[in-house]
Each structure stands twice: as C-alpha cells, then as structure tokens.
Structure 1
Amino acid sequence: MNIFNKVALQGLKKNRTRTIVTIIGVILSAAMITAVATFGVSLLDYMTKGAAKKYGGWQAAFLDVDSSFVQEQQLNKEVKDTVTFENIGYAALDSGSDPDKPYLFIAGYHPETFDALPIPLLSGRLPENSGEILVSGKVASNGGVSYAVGDTISLAVGSRMKGDEKLGQSDPYTAGDETLLPEAKRTYRIVGICQTPVFEKDSSPGYTLITRTDTADTADNLSLFVTLKNPRQVLSYVDTAADGHSYILNNDVLRFMGLSDDPSDQIFNGLLYTVGGIVIAIIMIGSIFLIYNSFSISLNERTRQIGILSSVGATAKQLRNSVLFEGLCIGAVGIPIGVLVGIGSIGLVIIVVAKNFGTLLYADVPLTLHVSALAIAGAAAVSIVTILISAYIPAKKAAGTPVMECIRQTNEVKMESKSVKTSKLSQRIYGLEGILALKNFKRNRKRYRSIVLSLVLSIVLFISTSAFVMDLKKASDQTKMVTSYDIGFGTQEMDDGEMLQLYDKLKNADGVYESSYQAYMEYSCIVPADGLSEDYWESAGGRSPDEISPDESPDAMSADGTVHLSMGIQFLDDSAYLGILESLGLPEEEYTGQSGKIIAVAKMQSNSSQVEKVEQLRALFTDPSMDFTIFPQTNNGSETEIGQNVNLTFVDIVPPDTPPIAGTVEQTPYFFQALAPWSLKDKLAPSDSPADVRVKGLTFQSENPSKSTAEMKTVIQGAGITSAYILLNTSEMLEESRNYVFIANVFAYTFIIMISLIAVANVFNTISTNIKLRRQELAMLRSVGMSDRDFNKMMRFECVFYGMRALLIGLPLAVVSSLLIHRGMFIAGADSIAFALPWASIGISVCSVLLVIFVTMMYAVGKIKKENIIDALRDDMT
C-alpha cells in the first residue's frame, strides 16, 4: 500500500463519525437501488408467471403446419415442449355482421391442449367429446350472431381455397379471391361460451369454436405451440425454424421479458424502464449530495495537508487516486451491506403486499421475491459509480488548487464585505446573535448548499407523494358510490318468470340480508314546449321556443309546438318502491294502484364536480307535476303507435342503481327517469309490447359478497340458465381500488422514508462537520465573553435560516409537483377529483426540517462546548 492510501485510511479512522455517516449513506443508497431493481425483477417475474397461467406458457405458435413439421420441432434441441390442435376446418357464419370475419373456425383440442392453452369460460363447461363444442363470445359481440348453451348447430365444414392454395387462420379474408369448399357435415351441441382464444387475431377470418379431437380424424393440418428451453431465444428460434411458415408470438407473456414484437408492448417496456431509471436517478442524486459533501468536507479539513504533499512532489493524479481509494474503501464496506439490506427490506415489503397483488391481478400466482444476479450486479455497479462521481469532483478540485493557496488556506472564503452586509432593520430584529448567524450563512453559501438541496428533495418527495396518495384515496372513496348494491345480476333476454324464480333462489344465498328486483325500459314522451324550463332551452343556445326551428331543437320539436323527449321507467319491486314513497313522505294511496300517480326525477345534467346533491341540479320542467303521454321504444329506437297517459310527480332523489348492463348508454343533456312499482309493469309494458328493455335483473346486499357471489354462480349454473347475463360483485371493484391505494402507500412511503434517511444523514454529516471546522471561530466568540445563552441563541438562528431557505424553495416546488401529478391523473380520467394540498404532510415537513437541523446542530455544538477554549484556538485543524 503506498503512502497516499495510508494517509487516506488514517483520515477515515481519525474522523470516525463522518466515516460512519458516509457508510450509512452508501448503505442506504445501495439498499434503495437494490430494492428498486429487485422489486422490478420480482414484479416482471410475477407478471410473466401470471400471464403464462392465463394465456399459456408457450412462446411461439405455427397455425398451419403438417405433422412432419411438428415432428421436426419436437426433435429440435432448443424446444422444451410442444402441443398441437387439429385445424378441422371452416364453416360459413350466416348473417354475420363483420365482413372481414365471415367464417367459423373449428379447432380440435387434444386433452393436453386444454392444459397448455387455458380457455376462460364465460358460461357452461368444456367439451368432453367430439360432438360438443365451445363458442367464442366474440361471435355474438362482434359477429352479431347469438348462440346459447344447449343449442345444436349443424355446420358444413370445409377448406378455404384460393385457386389451388389452401388458406388458414393466418391468411386474412379477401372477398372475391377465395371460396369455401365444404367437405363434411358436422353437428355439435354447444356446451359453453368462452373468451376469445389468444391465438385468434383480429385479422383472422374465422371466429374460433373448440371441440375435442376425434380419434377417427386423420387430417394433417395442425396448429403447433412451442415452449422453448430458453424463452429469450424465441426471436432467433422463429427466424430459423419458421422456414416460410407463418407464426405468432405469445406477446401477452413475452412483453414482460422485453421480447414482444408488438409496438404497444415496446412502449410498455420503454415506460417501465423510464420510470425505473427516474427512480434510480433520484436515488443517485440524493446519494451524490451526501457522499460528495462528505468528501468535500474531508478535503477541506486536509487542504493544508494536500498543499504540503503537493509541495514535496505529489502529482495531481496521485492526490485524486488517494481520494478515490478512500471512496472505494467506503464502498467496499457499505455496498455489500446495502445490497443485503435492500434484498431483505424489499422481501418484507413483498410479503406485506403479496395478498393485495393477488386480488388485483392473478389470484392463483403468488408474488414472491425473485433475486437476479444481473440486477444485483447492476445495483452494485450503480452504487460504485455514485461513489466515484461523488469522490472525483472534489478530488479534482483539490488537486487543481495552487500549492500556496492550499498551505495558506486562502481559498476557503473569497468574498467582499458587501456580500455579508446586513441592514439596520435586520440588526434590530435579530440582534447580535442573529446577525452573526446570518453573516455566517451568507459567508458560507456554497458549503451549506447541499444541506438545502437535500432538504428540498425530501420536502418535494414527501409532499407530492402524499398528494398523489390522497388523490388515490379520493378516487377510491368515489368508487364506493358507484352502486348501491354489493352484487348485481343483469340480463336483457331472460323471461320475467324465469328471472323471478332465480331470484327466489339467489336471495337465500349465505350472507345476503337485503335483495330487490327491477327492470329498466326505454320510453319517449310528448311535452308542450312551454312546459320545459329555461335551463332546458339554454342547451339550444339560450333562445326561446318561438325562436328555434324544429331542426335546431335539442330534441325533435313538432310543428304543433311539442317536443319529443327520451325517458326511462325503472320498475322496482313493490316493497322497494313503497320504501322510497315513505322516505319522501308521499301518501301510499295516491302513488299505488293501476291509476295511481308515478314519481320521477327530471333534471338537467351538470358538468360541475361541485354538485353534491340532486336538489342542486336545475329542473327540466316548469311544474312540479305534469300529465304525459308515453310511448314504449322498440329495439330499433322507434316509437310504438299506442301511447298511455300517466301523471308524473317530480321528486329530488337519486334513483336506485340499475343492475349491471353491457354496452354504453346514450348521453343526453338532461336526466328524465320515472320510478314505478313492479305491479304496474304489465300495464305500462304489456308482454306483447315491443318495448326495448335496456336491462332487468336482481340486486343484493351481502355481509360477505365474495362468498355470496361464489354460491350464486353455483346456483345459476345448476339452474341451467341459457340467456346471456352478467353477475357482478361490486365489492371486488372497491377492494381492487383499496388495494391500489394500499400498494401505492407502501411503496411510496418506503421510498420516501429511505430518501429522507439519506437527506437526514447528509444534513447531520454536513452540519456536524462544518461546526467542527468552525471550532476556532466558535472558541473565539466564547473567549471574548459570549455566554452559553447567547451562543445557543446564535445557533438557533442558524437553524432557522437553513430551515427557512429549504422550506422557501421546497414548499413551492412541492405544490407545483403535486399539481402536476393531479393534472396527470386528470388526463388519465380522474377529472372529478378536486385538487387539494396535503396540509398535514406540509405541517409534518415544516416541523421535521426544523427539528432535524436543530437536533443535529445542538449535538455538534454540545461536543464543541465540552472542549477547552485554549486548545480549540490553537488547533489548526490539520
């Protein structure tokens, strides 16, 4: 070991406190970088396993190959496993609405194929023989052709031909250039409806139907799914193995490995690595502040020593290497400990949030700690770079300082007297002690800049992250008002009698304590123009009905001065309707029976997020009660010719939520909805009426919604329901929102705490060492008669000046950062959340900043006070 390295080690041993604090900073920095890298790797591993569980673990698929190609790939050394299904053929889809998908594609699965290619069922079960079949839900949603479980279908199955060329699922449909050549008649019984298989692309010409392979079939047209021994070689594998065959990649899995060829997945990976890079950059900046400041102070102490070494022949390179050696010694101790602390801490965090991740994403796949040697090596390398940067900058500065300046230390303070001049007002306000503190702060701006920057970083992170979490909590609270029930069952096609029979079974599910049934139907009504409020006509430009032509009216205005409005009637079970009447204080005898009045809510829509009560909305009509002629609307949106007269009384309530419904609802500038008892449904919507039922269904309140939903699913499957329906557990949505907030809280505050620890270590290191560097100055003040009381007062003023400077910079930046985060959420769709500052977090930041500075300074001053004044005056700090 050369003399310069020995001198560096002696400096570390001599200043143990600063050395320990610097090592702690390195540990925190390495721990955070390791934690970020390890969590990122663990999360990607979790997402990869979850996607493989959901979509299958294969990496590449060849959709139209023969058995010889399959055998060749099975013998390939790169291939771990293969599964196939038989491409049985195509059948024409009669009355399909998508011109680019005019076919049904029948796939024959082997038993092992069902395991390798998971099929999420929407209803029913898997096929058990070659006479049963699953139908993709896309046939109804995109193709416009509905099939129900239990239906029997007969298909003329054959091949798509383009001249002599046989086409497959990889070949898009080209009208006029291809023909369907029927080869056999097949009959299937539909036993289930499933989600669209992952291998069916938007460009595929046929909707997929899945059956079991018949052992009697000997067709040599197969689809092959390949799992590789090393998934990361998938791109090179398909380049060599495809040999002219078209292929697809399992991008749902490969995107989390960074291997997807989908442009949107490349954007996802770019965003992921960008966020990770920003987090690591923030950690590095905070760490560089701490470690740089430590080496800078160390060199300030050793300025004269450096000058003497330079005067006897030490080169700038030797001096720089000495400081870098000091940094490597600190890194050799801090980085291994930091890596272990980072792995251990993120392991504990993962244990805490694992259950919530399972609820959000993949319930059957556990989130576990995944340690990657490459990630650990990267974290260690980033930590070493951070240390070397922090040490090199002050080392280069010291090595470039002239020898005589180092020996005389004339470069410590270079400023004119006017730079530290204070006003008479300041002298009156602060007194002598305050002026001394203020002058010292002005004289040493550069020395204390890192203190202020470290505190500013902590303030901005803490407040802006608190604001972000507060916005998440507000969003979570708003979701609690999405529905007034825990479990909803919605349908359009089910017969009323069948639905009510099902209701009698479901309401007895374990945990259900309140239940109801209802139907929502579309109507229109004729309203005199003068019966509509001024607020309504404002939507037509603020003009009166006489100034508006029928073509300009918000709704169609007839020549006789009437307006056709859309409305809905919500038929509630009688007990729920009577409960609403009781809450409104309306007489039951007037609002029940076949000739009774009907209550309705008629309000203009508001775009303001400040409206909290329905009474604050503007009325749609001028009178509190009116007579209307209503017409049921048919499925194509037209009115029936026969209308019925009803008397509506307008009330200020929020109607009960309707059962879950598929599709979107047309938006109007007003809300017009009547509430009627179920006993009036046969009168207002006779069974032979062509009225459009938007949704009908059942709603339930439960003490344990998850358990009740599971039991209801069993009951529905056992009842053999063939109509399309939606069973929604709204509490799962609320739980998902709460889990997002919880996970955001855990990771955000873990990150803030560790960054704040780095800032506290920086502040402690800087203040305590700078106080030590001022031993002579402080001893001189005490020697000329400054009392302990005045001395403490001066130091308290210094605390206030540091804290106020950090707060004056940090608080505005934190507010701007919080506002930008809120605006980001606004763009993402959280536009109903009002911006609010986290005042509690701001108060905590103010108190914490002042407390950290005060405690650190009092600690350092306490040690100075214990020293002998004469010894301190004689000490030249060399």
Structure 2
Amino acid sequence: MNIFHKVALQSLKKNRTRTFVTVIGVVMSAALFTAVATFGTSLLQYLMNGSKLKCGSWHIDFVNVNSDFVQERMEDSEVTDAVLFENIGYALLDGAKSTEKPYLFVAGFTDETFDELPVTLISGRFPQNDTEVILPNHISIKADVRIPVGEPIHIAVGNREESGNILTQHDPYRDGESLNIAEEKKYTVVGVYERAGFEEHDSPGYTAITRTDMVDAKGRYSLFLTLNSPQKANEYGNRFAGSFPYVLNEDVLRFYGVSDNTLFNAVMFAVGGVLIAIIMIGSVFLIYNSFHISLNERVHQFGILMSVGATPRQLKSSVLFEGICIGVLGILPGVAVGIGSVALALPVVEENFATISASDVPLELSVSVPALAAAIAVSFVTIMISAYIPAGKAASVPVMECIRQTGEMKTEAEDVKISGFFCRIYDLEGILALKNFRRNRRRYRSVILSLTLSVVLFVAGSAFGSTLKGIAKELTVELDGDISFYAKEMPKEELLALHDRLKNVDGVSRSTWQSDLIYSGTVEGLPDDFAGGRFREDCNIPVYAQFIEDAVYYDFIERLGFSMEEYYGQDAKVLGLIMDTEEHKVFFTGQEMEFILHSSTGERAKTICTTVVDNYPLDMLPYDSTPQYLFLMVVPWSMNSEFDGLERSSKSGLTFWADAPAQTMARIQSGITDAGVACDYTLINLSSAVELFRSLTFVVDVFTYAFAAMISLIAVANVFNTISTNIRIRRRELAMLRSVGMSEQGFNRMMNFECFFYGLRTLLFGVPIAGIFSWLIYKGMALSEQLEGFAYHFPWKSMTASVLGVFCIVFITMLYATNKIRKENIIDALRDDMV
C-alpha cells in the first residue's frame, strides 16, 4: 500500500460520519440494483414456468417425421429430452361451423407424452387404449359440435394433401387441399380436456387424443425436443428444415431471449433499463456529492502534496482507491439486503400474481449469478463514476490555488445581492441565510435534485396506484354476480332444467336466471324533443324485456317502496327504464309510460303499463351491440305467457355467486358439458376483472412504494451528507457570527431560513413535475381503457405528504448538524482549520 492509499484510508477514518452515510448509500444503491435484477429473474422464471405449464417445456417441434429421425434425435447429445405423439390422421368433423377448422385431428399419445405435454382434463378420464379418445372443450364452442362423454364415433381417417405434399397441424386450412382417406376408425369418447397450448389457433383440426404404446416403423410423428442450449433452437431446426418442417415454442423461448416478438424484448429491456437509470442517477447524486465534499475539504492537503511532487495521476489514484474501499464495504452487504428484500416481498404478492396470470405456478425466488454479477458491476461503475469526476477536477486545480483555497471565494457580489424589499421581510438572519444559499448554489444543487427526484417518484407511484384503483372501480361497479352463463335462443324448459342442475354445484352460494327478449314497439308519452325527436310515436324502436324470477322481482319492488298489489297478477304494471347508455343517464324516473309492442305485421299487439325507475334488479345479459337509448321493461317470469306469439329474438342466461369463482366456474363448465347443452353459449367469470385489477393494484402499490422508499432513503442520505458536512465546513463562519453577538435565537432563525430555502426550491421544481407526471399517468391509463368520463383527481394527499416529508428531512438534518456546532468552543472553532 503506497502513501497515497494510506492518506485515503486516514481520510475515511477521520470523517467517520460522512464515510458511514456514504457506505449506507452504497448499500441501498447496490440493494436496489440487486433487487431489480433478482426480482426480474424471479419474474421471468415465473412467467417461463407458467408458459411451460400451458404449452410444455419443449423448445422445438418437428411436426411430421419418421421413426428413423425420431431415433436419431433421441440419441443426439444436444438433446436433453424428447417426447412424441403419432399423427394418426385427419377426419372431417360432421356439422362443424368453422370453415377454417373443419377437421378432427387424431393424435396417439404414449404414457411419457401424457406426462410431458400439458393436457388438463375437465371431465371424464384419460384414454386407456387405442379405442378411446378425449376431445377438446373448444370443439363445442367454435365448431358447435357436441359429442357427449360415452358416445361412440365412427370416422374416416387420412392425410391432408396439396400438390402431392402432406399438410400438418401447423399448416392452416387451404381451399385447394384434399383429404385422402386411409382407414376407418371407431372410438369411444371418454373425456373432455381443456384446449392444449401445442394446438395453434389456426390449426385446421381439433386434436382428439387417443393412446398408443409403440413406435411404428411406418408411422408419422410429431417430435418435441428440449435442447441443452435453448438459444440455438432456431439454428438446430434449420439443419433439418429441408426435409422436416419445425415449429419453435416461442412462449418459452422468448424468456431465453429467442423471440421474434421485438415488442416483448423492447419492453423487458426498457423497463429494466429505466429502473437502473433512475437508481444510478439517485446513487450518483449521493456518492458524487460525498466525494466532492471530501475533496473540497482536502483541497488544501492536495495542494501541499502537489507542492512536494505528487502527480495528478497519483491524486486520482488516491481518490479512486477511496471509492474502492467504500465499494468493498457497501456492495456485498447491499447485494445481501437486495436478495433478502425480494425474498420477503415475493410471498406477499404471490397470490396476487396468480390472479393476474391465471396460473397456479408458485412465484419463487430465483437468483441468477450473471444477474448478480451485472448488479455488482453496475454498482461498482456507479461508484467509480462518482469518484472519478470530482477527482479529475481536484487534480486539475493549480498548486497555489489549492494551498490558498481561493477557488472557494469566486462568487461575485452581484450573485448574492438582495433587494431592499426582501431585506425588510427576512431581517438579518434571513439575509445571511439567503446569501449563503446563493453563494453555495452549486454545492446544494444535488440536494435539490435528490429531493425533487424523491417527490416525483413518490407522487407518480401514488398517482399510478390511485388511478388503477379508480379504473377498477369504474369498470366493475356495475357487475352483478361472479359467474355468468348465457345462450341465444335457448328453450325455456332447457334453461330451467340447467339452472336446477347447476345451482347445486359445489361452491355456488346463490344463483338466479333470466331471459332477455327484444320486441319491436313504441313508447307513448315521450316528449317530442326527446333525443332530437328520433323516437316519434309512429316510429318502431327495439324494446327490451328482461324476464326474471318472481322472488327477485318482487323483492326489488319491495325495496323500491311500491305497492305490491299494483305489480302483481295478470296485466299488472311492470318496471321500465329509459337510459342513455353512452352517457349513463336515466330519464323520466317516477313517471308512468306505456310500452306498446307490435306484431310481425306492425299492428298494435299488446300495451304494457310501466313505472319508470332509475335502476334494475339484475344486470342484463351482454349483447353484441347496445343502442344508445335503451328502452327496457323488467317483468316477472309469471307474466311471460302474456308475451307469447310476438316476434322477438331472445337470449337466456344464468347468474351465479361464489366464494371461489375460478374453481367454481370449472365445476360449472363440467356440469354444462355433462348436461350436453346443444346451443351456442358463453360462460364468463365476471369477478375475474375485479380480482385482476385488485391484484394488479396491490402489486403496483407494493413495488412502486418500495422502490420510491429506497430511492427516497438514498435522497435522505444525500441530504444528510451534504447539509451536515457543509455545516461543519462553515464552522468557522458560524463561530464568527456567534462571537460578534448573534444570539441563540437568531442563530436558530438563520438555520431555519436555510431549511426553508432548501424545501422551497425543491417544491418549486418537484411539485409541478410530479403534477405533470400524475396527469400523464392518468391520461395514458384512461385512454388505454377508453374511459372518456373518468375524471382526473389531483394527488393532494401524496403531494402534501411529500411537502411535509421534504421539510422534515431538511429540518431534522439541520438540527443534527447545528447541535454539534453549538457544543464546540467558539475560540477553538475560530483558531482551527477544518478537520
């Protein structure tokens, strides 16, 4: 260790407080870098595991190969795992509605294939031999073909061909293709499974899975390979592309950086880059300022060293060695703190991540050695940058200027001149504080920037979370129930029978049903100028009728406070609603109006007397399009016979309430399948949107506030370091003021004025910038969700907390520093140079 390194160590030991604060700043900086890297790798691993659960862990699929190729690949040293299924062939699916997906594709799975490829059984059981099959659930939804479990099917199986070439599942349906039948097959349907991830959306066949136990030398297979080096999957496939086409598992490979999806890569690296940039900026403020202050204190010492022959290179080496020492003390503990923080945070947000991704994959800590090495390297580079810049400046100062320290006295009188108006406001103590603030403007700039960054991050994070909560409330406030089933033109008897079957499903706490019909008619009593006169009495309009259970209807009548006798029995009054669906405005509440329904010939067929209300007991079923002006009648089911014989279109539905909607929905889906519902239906989880936004909001809150808190701690350390050290540098100046008669009260007033100037300058920049960021966040999120009526709310609470926080930090730091100065003897402070 040379003499310059010893000087650097002595400086660190002599200024223990500044060294401690700088090391704490490095610890927090390294912890943030590590936390970003560790959470990033944990999240990527979590998403990768979710993709593997959905699509399988394979990397490349050779879609139509022979047994020789299978054997060669299984013996390939570049392959770690291989599974396959037999491409038995295609069969026309009778009654399939989808023209681009007209086939049934039969695949023969081995035991190993069932273990490796994700096949989730919804009902029934897996096939046990080559005469049994399971069918995907989307065959009933997209093809509108329903084959109950236990039913036998007879199909003619063959190959799809075009111009002599065999087509596979990865070749979309083509108009000129032909199906060459090879053999007749008979299977029994023994189960229904959830659509598999290995079947692409544009595949021409619904995959029916049977069981096969051996590799036939004449068979054709789909071979799924897992490679030692996933990054080389494309290169590996290109070797055989001339003879055997292949498909990459991009859902998994993109997490290895192998993806044609440039948007995913851009977002992944952009988010990480922005976070690292913010941390580096905050950290450089602290560490650079610490070294800058240190060198300002030691400039006299540097002048003496240069006067006896020290070179600029040796002085820079001394300062950089100081930076290395601080890095050694702070980086490794920071890495440990970062990993520990993520390990504590993951269990807190794991359940919410499962809701967001709709996956049962656990969110576990994943520590990547390259990611940790990158975090350590970035932390070290940050320290070196922070040390090198002030070291270069100090080494370039002339010797005599260093010894005389004239560089500290370059402020011109005009720069600190104060007008008479401010002199009358501030008094002597305020004038001295303001002059000192202006004289040391460059020195305190990093304090202002650090505090401003903290204010902006805290307010922006708060605005993001509150806006997300507002959007969640806006989108979910109108939902009734947790699960909704609806179907077009479903017979009444079938609907009621299905309700009786599903209301007893495990997990359903309450249920109801409804039937929504659309009639053609008019409404009497509408003002001529309503909606610009577009609804004249001679103009037919769509009139909606919502038929609901009598118990639900009359319970709502009772809650409205209406007389039960007026709304009970044949030809009774019913409830009406007239609403602008775009503006969410209701009209004519409390008035009585007649809804006149017409027959198919346009004649008056039935007149319904309604009492117009501003609400309805149960959400209507969704339609492909809803008119701007909705005319709705809410009718008890007991009156439905009065509407028979009128031309109308209908949609029927069931609504369920459940404590665990996701699990209950799976049981309901199984019950619908077992019931053999023949019409086209939709089953949706209404509560998923609510849970998604709640979970997303919670996750955002945890990480934005944690990130803002860590950055704020770095800013606090910077403020403490800068203010306390600069107060110590001014110990002679402050002692001189006290020696000429400045009272304790006057001294306190001067210090308080300085605190006020720091806080005011911070808020002068921080509040407008934070307000602009909060508005931009609101605008971007409102536009993305297409919420035109969603109002902006200024973040008063977070802004107020930021203002109070800024002044508290500055005042507490100043109080700590000045208390140490007060304890010193005035004569000693005037006599000694800065230690």
TM-score by length of 1: 0.89
Correspondence for 1:223? 222
Summarize deviations over 1:283-325 as a string: whole Å, max 9, x none. 0000000000000000100111111222222222211111111
Q: TM-score, normalised by structure 2?
A: 0.93
Q: Which moved more, 1:861-870 or 1:208-217?
A: 208-217
Partner of 1:360: 356
Aligned position for 1:541: none
CA distance in 1, matches of 2:190, 2:642: 38
**Cα distance change on mapping 1:292 and 1:477 into 2, 3 Å:** same
Per the alignment, do residues 642 and 98 of structure 1 end up closer, same or farther by CA in structure 2, a change over 3 Å counting? farther
The change in CA–CA distance for 1:659 and 1:222 in structure 2 (over 3 A counts) is farther
Q: Deviation string for 1:784-835 (max 9, x for gaps)?
A: 0111111011000000000111011101100001111111212320625321
Q: In 2 relative to 1, CA 99–578 (structure 1 residues): closer, same or farther, beyond 3 Å?
A: closer
Residue of structure 2 equivalent to 1:244: 243
Matched with 1:828 is 784
Greater shift after overlay, 429-438 or 587-596? 587-596
| Per-residue deviation, 1:396 | 0.9
1:617 partner letter: V
Please report how far the alpha carbon of residue 400 of structure 1 lies from its aligned counterpart in structure 2 after TM superposition. 1.2
What's the counterpart of residue 576 of structure 1?
Answer: 552
Task: Evaluate the alpha carbon distance shift between residue 721 and residue 604 of structure 1 in structure 2; reply closer, same or farther with a 3 A threshold.
Answer: closer
* Cα distance in 2, alignment partners of residues 38 and 121 from structure 1: 35
CA distance in 2, matches of 1:739, 1:82: 38
SS in 1 for 2:119: coil
Other-structure match for 2:640: 681
Structure 1 equivalent of residue 531 of structure 2 = 536
Amino acid aligned to 2:581: Q
- 1:625 is aligned to 2:593: yes
AA aligned to 2:606 is N
Find 1:838's aligned residue among 790, 795, 810: 795
Amino acid at match of 2:531: Y
How many correspondences in the alignment? Answer: 834
Matched, 1:5 2:5: yes
Q: For residues 429-458 of structure 1, what are the alpha-carbon distances to aligned partners after superposition, in whole Å with 9 as ceiling and x for unaligned?
A: 111101110110111100100110000000
The answer on whether the counterparts of 1:153 and 1:188 sit within 8 Å (CA) in structure 2 is yes
CA change 1:569–1:152 in 2 (3 A) is farther
Task: Report matched runs for 1:508-547 at 5 Å.
Answer: 508=504, 514-526=510-522, 531=526, 533-537=528-532
Give structure 1 stretches of 5+ with no counterpart: 538-543, 546-554, 632-638
Give the structure 2 partner of residue 370 of structure 1: 366
**In 2: Cα distance, 1:98 partner to 1:513 partner:** 37
Return the letter of the residue paired with 1:570: Q
Match of 1:600 in 2: 576
Which residue matches 1:652?
A: 613
What are the Cα deviations for residues 222-262 of structure 1, in whole angstroms up to 9, with x where unaligned? Answer: 1111122343332332233545311111111222222123x
Q: 2:709 aligns with which of 740, 753, 765?
A: 753
What's the CA shift for 1:681? Answer: 2.2
Distance 1:527 1:317 in 2: 92
Displacement after TM superposition at 1:654 (Å):
2.4
Q: Is the 8 A contact 1:295 1:390 kept in 2?
A: yes
Which SS does the other structure have where 1:346 is aligned? helix
CA change 1:171–1:507 in 2 (3 A) is closer
Partners of 1:370 and 1:204 lie apart in 2 by 36
Aligned to 1:540: none
Spell out the pairing of 1:43-62 with structure 2 (5 A cutoff). 43-62=43-62
1:324 alignment partner, one of 320, 331, 339 = 320
Deviation at 1:850, TM superposition (A): 0.6
Q: Deviations over 1:82-113 (max 9, x none)?
A: 11111122223456555544433222222332
The letter for the 2-side match of 1:566 is: P
What's the secondary structure of 1:238's corresponding residue?
helix
Which deviates further from its counterpart, 344-353 or 718-727? 718-727
Contact 2:289–2:722 at 8 Å: present in 1 too?
Answer: yes
Following the alignment from structure 1 to structure 2, what is the Cα–Cα distance between the partners of residues 451 and 489? 59
The CA deviation at 1:514 is 4.3
| C-alpha distance in structure 1 between counterparts of 2:577 and 2:243, whole Å | 65
Contact 1:783 1:869 in 2 (8 A): yes
**Could you tell which deviates more after superposition, 434-443 or 84-93?**
84-93
Show the counterpart of 1:861.
Answer: 818
1:760 CA displacement: 0.4
Q: Distance in 1 between matches of 2:139 and 2:151?
A: 14
Partner secondary structure for residue 282 of structure 1? helix
How far is 1:732 from its partner?
A: 4.4
Indicate if the aligned counterparts of 1:154 and 1:186 stay in contact, CA closer than 8 A.
Answer: yes
The 5-angstrom pairing of residues 162-181 of structure 1 reads 162-176=162-176, 178-181=177-180
Name the SS of the counterpart of 1:562 in structure 2.
Answer: coil
Query: 2:446 corresponds to which residue?
Result: 450
Closer, same or farther in 2 for the Cα pair 1:651/1:583, shift >3 Å? farther
Q: How far apart, CA to CA, are the structure 2 residues paired with 1:617 and 1:503?
A: 32
Distance verdict in 2 for CA 1:511–1:197, change over 3 Å: closer
Give the Cα–Cα distance (whole angstroms) in 1 for the partners of residues 372 and 163 of structure 2: 58
CA distance in 2 between counterparts of 1:300 and 1:93 reads 84
Aligned mates of 2:336, 2:400 — CA distance in 1: 46
- SS of equivalent residue, structure 2 residue 540: strand
- Do the aligned partners of 1:456 and 1:807 also contact (CA within 8 Å) in 2? yes
Tell me the equivalent position of 2:774.
818
Cα pair 2:59 2:225 within 8 Å, conserved:
yes
CA distance in 1, matches of 2:131, 2:679: 22
Q: In structure 2, what residue type is equivalent to 1:851? A: C
Distance 1:175 1:701 in 2: 46
Please give the secondary structure, in 1, of the residue aligned with 2:407. Answer: coil
Q: Distance in 2 between matches of 1:199 and 1:715?
A: 26
Give the equivalent residue in structure 2 for 1:590: 566
Q: Distance in 2 between matches of 1:480 and 1:744?
A: 19
- Match of 2:393, SS? helix
1:870 to 787, 809, 827: 827
> For residue 534 of structure 1, what is the amino acid of its counterpart?
D
Corresponding residue for residue 313 of structure 1 = 309
C-alpha distance in 2 between matches for 1:100 and 1:690 = 34
Measure, in 1, the Cα distance between the counterparts of 2:392 and 2:601: 89
Aligned equivalents of 1:207, 1:729: Cα separation in 2: 25
Matches within 5 A, 1:658-669: 658=619, 665-669=624-628
Quote the Cα distance in structure 2 between the aligned partners of 1:142 and 1:727.
13
Matches within 5 A, 1:57-68: 57-68=57-68
Query: Could you tell me which amino acid in structure 1 is paired with residue 586 of structure 2?
Result: L
In structure 1, how many angstroms separate the alpha carbons of the residues matched to 2:790 and 2:153? 51
Amino acid at match of 1:432: L
More deviation, 426-435/720-729? 720-729
Which segment drifts farther, 87-96 or 822-831?
Answer: 87-96
CA distance change for structure 1 residues 341 and 396 in 2, over 3 Å: closer, same or farther?
same
- Distance of 1:727 and 1:172 partners within structure 2: 28
State the match for 1:741 in structure 2.
Answer: 697
Deviations 1:827-872 (A, max 9, x none): 3206253211222211111111111111111111111111111111
* In structure 2, distance between residues paired with 1:243 and 1:75: 21
Change in CA separation of 1:657 and 1:189 when aligned onto 2, cut-off 3 Å: farther
Give the distance between the partners of 1:695 and 1:817, measured in 2 at CA: 46
* Alpha-carbon spacing, 1:442–1:433, altered in 2? closer, same or farther (3 Å): same
- Asked if 1:22 corresponds to 2:22, the answer is yes
SS in 1 for 2:539: strand
Equivalent residues of 1:161, 1:180 under 8 A apart: yes
Counterpart residue type for residue 62 of structure 2 = F
Which residue of the partner structure matches residue 206 of structure 1? 205
2:346 corresponds, among 344, 347, 350, to: 350
Distance 2:504 2:42 in 1: 43
Does the CA contact (< 8 Å) of 1:520 and 1:658 recur in 2? Answer: no
